[in-house]
Structure 1
Amino acid sequence: MNTKSKIMIIGGHGKVGQYITRELKDYNLMLVGRNKDKIQHFLKKEKIQAEICSMDVHHIDFTKLDGVGWVIVCVDQENTELVEFCDIHGIDYMDVTANSEYLEKIQQLKLRGTSKILLGIGLAPGLTNLLAEKFVLMHPLADEINIEVILGLGEKHGDAAIQWTLDNFLKSYSHKTLGYIRPFTQKSTIHMEQKSLKTYNFNFVDQHMLNLKYKDRTFTTYLGFDQSIVTDFIYRANKLGLLGSLKYKPIYRMAEAILKKPKLGTDIFMVAVQAGEKIIHAWGHDEGRFTGLIAAEAAKRMATMDLRNGLLGISDVIHVEEVAENKLFGLTLTLTGRHSV
């Protein structure tokens, strides 16, 4: 990327986007969002100079991309018009979202390869992909691989993260070997630090990205929470068909309000990749902060590294050991170990 050209950050004042904006503050930035006043408030508070553009990501004004050399998107999109525009016009693109359907759409596009398209940055996808790829190198004979994600209920997650989670409790999805499946129907367990926590299948995009990359293996991602009673409650509610009530706005809003002001749990997150008794895992605190920091590091590296054009993943810009060695991330990593079933 020509770093003298403009960098457009869509959602650069949000919970994750703020970390990226701070990291790239010395570049020529344009922050895009629906609320111009919120962007101005953030920039003033952080003492960052940037152009402000009021625009909805669902209704892109492509004339605003004149002079833009790189687009970073921190909010969910419904279609691939923006990434296709970037591909046609040689504009680099980085996506910091976890929308499975959207990222899969990008991977299915017939791109020209005139720009760099970086996907899967964060915790899941992101750290989970790095751990999974490391696991494959360490255990090349493993073919049925589980990715376990534990989120802390005590963390104050951003609005977009909460809405994404609630929305995906309602959606069935297609899996490489499980077929078309509802979330929270298949059980697994994460074994870490003498502790076992139940997890259930969930539509994180990391498994789809990995299943596409490794044709001879099957990856399945499972979700659980640091409070087992809540994980069990969600599973039982789903089994009884009660999660379907989230489609009603009053129930949805009530669930949102509860998650925005957590009353129990911690801010811990845990990730494990396991097959049989073999396991590697990592854990840290404040998933939102971690996602922001790793996205900021990926953005900085994308701006400075000589990367090939075309679709890129997080392992093209950073290795899991580098994440663990950087104290800023606060990640504890264990690459060797076995668990007892």
Structure 2
Amino acid sequence: MMSRPLLVALLALLMPSAMAQSADTPGLLVMAHGGDPAWNASVEDALAPLRELYPVALAFGMADPASLGAGLGELADQGAERVAIVRLFLDGRSFLHQTEYFLGLRDDPPAQFVLHGAHGAPAGRGAGSGHGATRGHAQAGHGSGHAAGHGAASATPEPVAHGLDLALSLDGLMKADEVALILAARAEAISQSPSEESVLVLAHGTGDDVENARWIAAMERLTGDLRADGYHAVRVETLREDWPEPRAAAERAIRGYVEAETEAGRRVLVVPFRLSGFGPYRDVLEGLDYTASEAGILPHAAVTDWVDREYRALVARAGWASPTP
């Protein structure tokens, strides 16, 4: 059976854009954190096969109104009247309340905005006020975004004006079975003798104990493939990076685990549970003996699969015309 990444790639090669995208094909807006050029390029590469199948735009930043407005404007310029919004975050709760507010899917602003870009009203294409721009097919969400304290506007920012039908994804990659395959592949790439190796999967985590436990539970589920690959042990940990006291305890636990496994004569493989790169883990593990996978979840073709699957599920739930097979 042909794999889905290969199928998507073949469709992109064989089907001209004009044929792949009919006038009523819903657009896809992918929200992603964004980072350095390599980080951003990894997201662009993941979306490249999908651009031949339907209109695609990117909104970097953590629910930044300017980038949301620009992305929606780009899709409107491509002729889209309906847009499925896939949030490429690990945690589906990340910035959800803020996203819904800026898109006009709810009237109440979050208690705290996380704004890394403009700290006022949305700028550029799609800027403006008014809650009535969104029509009735939007998918309502639940939960709230992080109040991470990275910055907040002094006055409540206005929602983005767009005039499009929207459907918003609610789940993050922590619920994606594709990630289990990626984590197993990352460990396999650096493994030499699984039965003599222990795998440590490291993630960002949260400051709240209950929320952090939810992260741990999700990571445990996604390491099922790893645990079936014959490693001596598989351990998941969160660094709780932005919260000094929980982080100090997490660092002790992480270093203690690596030290204990090394002293027992086992080779330690460290796999980041991050969208891109190795993050701050090199500093945390300084002086210890381990082998690391430098790659995060991106780049990997399975991320393309997940975005495509989320997009099609949103389109189906909204009752819109189906895109290409």
Q: Same fold (TM over 0.5)?
A: no
Higher strand share: 1
Coarse TM-score class (shorter-chain normalised): 0.3 to 0.5
Structure having the higher Rg = 2
Scaled by the length of structure 2, the TM-score of the pair is: 0.37
